[in-house]
Amino acid sequence: MRDVRNCLMKLFSSAGALSTRRRRRRGDVLAAAQQGRDGLLWYRDLGRCVDGVEFSMAVIQANQVLEDQSQIESGDFGTFVGIYDGHGGPHAARYVCDHLFRNFHEIASGPQGVTSDGIQRAFLATEEGFIALVSELWNTRPDMATTGTCCLVGIISQRTLYVANSGDSRAVLGRKVGCTGEVAAIQLSTEHNANVEAVRQELKAQHPDDPQIVVLKHGVWRVKGIIQVSRSIGDAYMKHAQYNTEPINMKFRLSEPMSMPILTANPTIISHHLQPSDSFLIFASDGLWEHLSNEKAVEIVHNHPRAGSARRLIKAALQEAARKREMRLQQYKIVEMKLLAQQRDLQAKIPDIEKCLDIVATLQAKKGTGEALITDFEVSEGIYSRTRIEDTDSVCLWLGANVMLEYSLEEAEALLKKNLENAKASLEVLVADLQFLRDQVTITQVTIARVYNWDVHQRRSRQPAKET
């Protein structure tokens, strides 16, 4: 399971939404209760900003190094929230966390104030700064060229909510439905992931001469067969040809020269005038939305107390992930059995083809000599019969399904060589697929164990409290 970073913000009719960074900033947070860390889960169950806006936040670490960052900033402009879902390392997310708001604030402090154009300029200025850092460190830290981050930003200024997104994180609004007591889920952000048909079409339109701009690999669409997102800050190796070469890892290198940037940092931005019926916002990275629908997440928040909402969403996602992993593990086992059966068939078929080729070669060597070929052939298991084969120009090949055809020796040799080549190629692909499948089985088993152990720890930690 990916790192999941999740911010929940409570909206009041007076304006505003709020999230938090892992450190409190300049007294913006007036009160924060029930905050702490539980193993790989970090949370703040309930906090309050000076303008009365309440928020909840949680993050669970799935990778060895936490690659995600988030932040909250408030000022005369309003409130700024950022969710930065890093990949390939933590460096890009950390850089964005330190520079994106700074660039935005500098632009928003001008006469135009907060605008969509200003937010876009802040994204691109941050991208430019990070690429400059990659260039500066290229000789000593080439891995910086292969790190990037998705960026989801929410800004509330004068009762207008701006949502800017570059990547596949998501912002969802919970809106009250009249006097029914129900809350509707409204997705505000546009996702840039190659698994979305519209994104694939956009990439194909931008790169009409590249048939491999999107590749289906192990059931997942990826840009150039490498990365799922089409927009991000960083990922210099997919934007500038000078960084798609040695010494970066081979798995990131393209097989053909890059004539134009493949990814972009340019965000999609929407603006929404806040209404009294707008109840709360959920900002989260794709690790949450992979397991919870918009409607399910909104339902969880709406039907429970505000305190601990973000942590509750994380727990629901973990439980759903564990359920899916268990189902997937069973599917992996079934597929593995089928692949192993195919492997056994190919491993038995290849020696048979090689034997047939040897016989055809022997017949060709005897051809024209007038000398008969004496050979033993297997009638059934353990039973052989000796036969005499006179000088011949043709052989009959058994093609299966009760079909046997006669071929000249030259045709038979060509056909058998082609079948042998295809069988060996299929076996190589099969071995690679089996290795990939076994890796997925291992990852799935480890994930299930981690989720199970975390849940056991949670139940044990609640036990003394109940007894007390």
Q: What residue segments make up the domains of the chain, in order of their start? A: 4-188+270-307, 331-458
Per-residue confidence (pLDDT) for residue 28, from 0 to 100: 47
Rg (CA), the chain: 31
The confidence score (pLDDT) of residue 14 equals: 26
Please state the rounded mean pLDDT for residues 33-54.
68
CATH topology of domain 331-458: Helix Hairpins (1.10.287)
Domains 4-188+270-307 and 331-458 share a fold: no
Question: Residue 1 — very low, low, confident or very high, per pLDDT cuts 50/70/90?
Answer: very low
Which pLDDT score, from 0 to 100, does residue 339 have?
86
More confident residue, 455 or 66: 66
pLDDT 10s digits, 236-292: 999 999 999 999 999 999 988 888 999 999 999 999 999 999 999 999 999 899 889
User: In the predicted model, is pLDDT for residue 371 greater than 60?
Assistant: yes
- Measured between alpha carbons, how far is 366 from 347 in angstroms, rounded to an integer? 30
Task: Say which residue, 96 or 467, is predicted with more confidence.
Answer: 96
Average pLDDT on 379-393 reads 81
> Cα–chain-centroid distance for residue 83?
17
**Which pLDDT band holds residue 17 (cuts at 50, 70, 90)?**
very low
Average pLDDT over residues 41-46: 77
- Residue 300 or residue 463, greater confidence: 300
* Cβ within 8 Å of residue 197, ≥6 positions away: none
| CATH superfamily, with its number, for domain 4-188+270-307 | PPM-type phosphatase domain (3.60.40.10)
Closest among 160, 216, 228 to 191, alpha carbons compared: 228
With contact defined as beta carbons under 8 Å apart, do 4 and 83 qualify? no
Per-residue pLDDT at 11: 47
Query: What CA–CA distance (Å, rounded) separates 49 from 73?
Result: 10
Predicted confidence (pLDDT) at residue 214 exceeds the cutoff of 90: yes
Decide which of 430 and 137 is more confident: 137
- 18 pLDDT band (50/70/90 cuts)? very low
Residue 85's Cβ-count burial label (10 Å; 0-12, 13-18, 19+) is buried
pLDDT band at 466 (very low <50, low <70, confident <90, very high): low
Q: Which residue has the higher pLDDT, 29 or 200?
A: 200
181 or 138, which is more confident: 138
